Structure 1
Amino acid sequence: MIIRPATPADVPRLIDILNQIIEIGGTTAYQDPLDAGYLDRFFTGNSKTFLHVAENVDGIQGMQWMDALDPPNDHIGGIATFADPTTTQRGVGTALFDITKAASLAAGYSELYAKIRADNTGGLAYYEKMGFRDHLVDRAVPLKDGTPVDRITKRLKLDPSH
């Protein structure tokens, strides 16, 4: 498995993965299909915003991105992780996080946050395994169909010595 920065040439595959996950439902807050322009922010040269992909001989298997919160909180980054729902690739998330964590420290982040749907048990377990801890809960956020689902924000303080 190779972890590398995403390139604009990767965008069609990344949007395909995202839209498959959205169509399946239940593991992302996104509910409407995304277009390629959604990922433009990762190719602007902003050192606080980046996107990595996990790739093997079969192609891109997953991605992880980091976005800065609006100033004055640009020391806190928002992370999101997505894996191809049609394959099972053990270790993709961990491999991505190792690179994202190092890049986050290099970009000056001191804390990361992830907002996960409460019904996304796999996502909650993944971020817990990576060291994130519960920070707050937004209760009963309605989906498009009106179904209320809690959103759990997890946070991780980065330690530059590790």
Structure 2
Amino acid sequence: MKLIIRDVQKEDSQGIINILNPIVEAGLYTILDTTFSLEEEEKFIQDFPERGVFNVAVSLEESNVVGFQNVEPFATYTHAFDHVGIIGTYVDSSYRRQSIASSLFNATFERARSKGYEKLFAYVRNDNQDALATYLKQGFEVIGIAKKHAKIDGKYIDEVLIEKLL
């Protein structure tokens, strides 16, 4: 598949929620438990932090968003964490295992470094072994388990804490 990785645009909002909402609805891969409207996603993109990185993977053949990845500042209440970002990665279920995530990681790592990030941090559901394997393949390391970190529909979910020094 031929891809272009580029900065997100407001016009990508529908493509993003087309990927994200089915993942949320499945209740298996993310701790997000509420779907997003087009307006909410447009506002999220509009208000995305200046220091953030928000990349989309667009299929050149189909001209649609097939994945996205973002990095947000870890904390804004202190400058002690200015070098740390929180990363999230999402790929359309019908396009997985086509190196889309790898392409996103390559672009995101470069942009994150250029914005002063030295470390990326993520929480991955303990029961999402495919996502964990993807992150580990990109050089992330497991640094711990947050037990009962999320609670969705009355069920506790452990999260694996991972990090990568850039």
Relative to the length of structure 2, the TM-score reads 0.88
Distance 1:118 1:39 in 2: 30
Match of 1:31 among 26, 30, 33: 33
- The size of the alignment, in residue pairs, is 158
Match of 1:131 in 2: 139
Change (3 A) 1:133 1:122: same
Match of 1:67 in 2: 72
Preserved CA contact (<8 Å) 2:31 2:150: no
Structure 1 residues 127-149: Cα deviation after superposition (integer angstroms, max 9, x where no partner):
10010001221102343222221
CA RMSD of aligned residues (A): 1.7
Distance 1:45 1:81 in 2: 16
Is 2:37 the partner of 1:53?
A: no
Structure 1, 42-51 or 99-108: larger mean CA deviation: 42-51
Match of 1:83 in 2: 91
Structure 1 residues 97-146: Cα deviation after superposition (integer angstroms, max 9, x where no partner):
00000000000001000110000111100110010001221102343222
Is 2:156 the partner of 1:148?
A: yes
Match of 1:118 in 2: 126
Query: Structure 1 unaligned runs (5+)?
Result: none
Is 2:101 the partner of 1:101?
A: no
Distance 1:82 1:38 in 2: 14
